[in-house]
Amino acid sequence: MIEATDPSHLGLEGRVVDETRNTLLLEVSGRELVIPKRGSVFVFRMEEDVRIAGDRLRHRPEDRVKRAW
């Protein structure tokens, strides 16, 4: 995570385990942490790094595909 309202979340790296409308559940060093999407900016590592503001993800996952970006 590269931006967060909670300074203890800055720089966290982990695997997304679950997602709700307002949070991501990350597995970080064997622990699971609930991270709020609001006020956070995430970098997802795929073939290329993708930077996404958490506020853009604040919808139920199944509803997100219906929304125009």
pLDDT digits (tens, 9 = 90+) for 6-53: 898 999 999 999 998 899 999 999 999 999 999 999 998 888 888 888
> In this structure, is residue 69 part of a structural domain?
no
- Residue with the larger pLDDT of the pair 28 and 68: 28
> In this structure, is residue 2 part of a structural domain?
no
| pLDDT attached to residue 3 | 87
> In this structure, is residue 68 part of a structural domain?
no
Residue 2 has pLDDT above 80, yes or no: yes
16: domain CATH number? 2.30.30.210
Domain extent, residue 45, equals 7-61
> In this structure, is residue 44 part of a structural domain?
yes
Positive or negative, the Cα torsion across 14, 38, 50, 2? negative
> In this structure, is residue 16 part of a structural domain?
yes
| pLDDT attached to residue 13 | 92
> In this structure, is residue 23 part of a structural domain?
yes
Q: How far apart are the first and last CA of the chain?
A: 21
Total structural domains in the chain? 1
> In this structure, is residue 52 part of a structural domain?
yes
The model carries a pTM of 0.71
